Copies of this chain bind each other. A is one copy, B any other.
């Protein structure tokens, strides 16, 4: 009836096998259609933005030291915020998912507030907390002379404040998905709770932790409102890329689009590089 494919040579068989592996559960077709629609919602505005890019002026616009300074500030602060969020946020998530006590839902609610507080107000709240006269900042200032709001630290704190909740919520969800049997088995093998956490729990929720870190990093990279209020907008010190975009918007629209393009390119390239490999279980 149908012409049989010629017997596959060894290499092509191997190729087929490695892509096919265990047969994937096929997504329902309707779902794929909706997924394309969802993607369009993101793709069309980004595409539209690309039409606005002043391609000819681009090289000269990007060569300014404003861009390179902002790039440095953005890179350092977004990575630092991601690292700090990992160190502080995963324990918070663990506590919310596994701890006990009635305080948990309150803590969860508090940990989610930075997402809903308007960025400018969030920045002000940070000032009241960590500024020169702030609840905590006063001690820090007296003890170390460090003025958080005027330094790169301020950018990092603002980014962490705004972005960390995404990690906390994601990891908590994943921990609640996790069947605790493996952790139990590990404990019964004599593993210290810390070992269980590090060697069993974290790897088992790996993809979700990575998803959370991506969220934190991306949110930090794009963070504007809280940073501008809390850390200011000093070129070379606290002016990150979104802040540079904002300033450019007032004077040179093309420059603003060009700098946005840098942001888009960075996150695009990073996410493409991380790609599937990073998502898979180690």
Instruction: Encode A119-158 as 1/0 by CB contact (under 8 A) with B.
Output: 1111011101110001110000000000000000000010
Q: What chain B residues lie within 8 Å of A246 (beta carbons)?
A: 118, 120
Given the complex of chains A and B, what is the CA–CA distance between A187 and B120 in angstroms?
Answer: 50
Chain A: interface secondary structure? helix
Q: Does A189 contact B (CB under 8 A)?
A: no
Specify which chain B residues have a CB less than 8 angstroms from the CB of A161 in the assembled complex.
41-42, 45
Q: Is the CB of A129 within 8 A of B44?
A: yes
Question: Which of A10-18, A57-65, A100-108, A231-239 contacts its partner?
Answer: A100-108
Binary per-residue interface labels of chain A (228-267) against chain B in the complex, 1 for a CB within 8 Å, 0 otherwise = 0000000000000110011001000000110010011011
Tell me how far the C-beta of A25 lies from the nearest C-beta in chain B, rounded to whole angstroms: 4
> B208 near A173 (CB under 8 angstroms)?
yes
A124 smallest CB distance to B (angstroms) = 7
Q: Is A92 an interface residue (CB 8 A)?
A: yes
Q: Are B193 and A94 in contact (CB under 8 A)?
A: no
Closest chain B residue to A43, Cβ basis? B110
Across the interface, A207 reaches (CB within 8 A) one of B30, B176, B241, namely: B176
Q: How large is the interface on A (under 10, 10 to 19, 20 to 34, 35 or more residues)?
A: 35 or more
Point out the residue from B19, B32, B41, B116 that lies within 8 Å of A222, measured CB to CB: B116
Whole-angstrom distance from the CB of A10 to the nearest CB of chain B?
Answer: 23
Asked whether A27 and B197 contact (CB < 8 A) given A35-B94, A43-B110, A111-B39, the answer is: yes
Q: How many of these chains are in the complex?
A: 2
Q: What is A's interface to B at a CB cutoff of 8 Å?
A: 19, 22, 24-32, 34-35, 37-39, 41-49, 51-52, 87-89, 91-92, 94-95, 98-100, 104-122, 124-126, 128-130, 134-136, 157, 160-161, 164-166, 168-170, 172-174, 176-178, 180, 183-184, 187, 192-194, 196-197, 204-212, 214-215, 218-219, 221-222, 224-225, 241-242, 245-246, 249, 256-257, 260, 263-264, 266-268, 271-272, 275-276, 279-281
A-B contact pairs, 10 of them (CB 8 A): A26-B193, A31-B194, A39-B107, A46-B110, A109-B272, A115-B215, A115-B222, A118-B222, A174-B207, A177-B178
Determine which of B39, B121, B211 lies in contact with A260 in the assembled complex, contact meaning CB atoms within 8 Å.
B121
Q: How far is the CA of A44 from the CA of B110 in the complex (A)?
A: 10
- A206-B172 Cα distance, complex, nearest whole Å: 12
Which of B192, B209, B224 touches A28 (beta carbons < 8 Å)?
Answer: B192
Chain B residues positioned under 8 Å from A193 (CB to CB): 25-29, 31
3 nearest A-B pairs in the assembled complex, by CB-CB distance: A173-B211, A38-B88, A48-B128
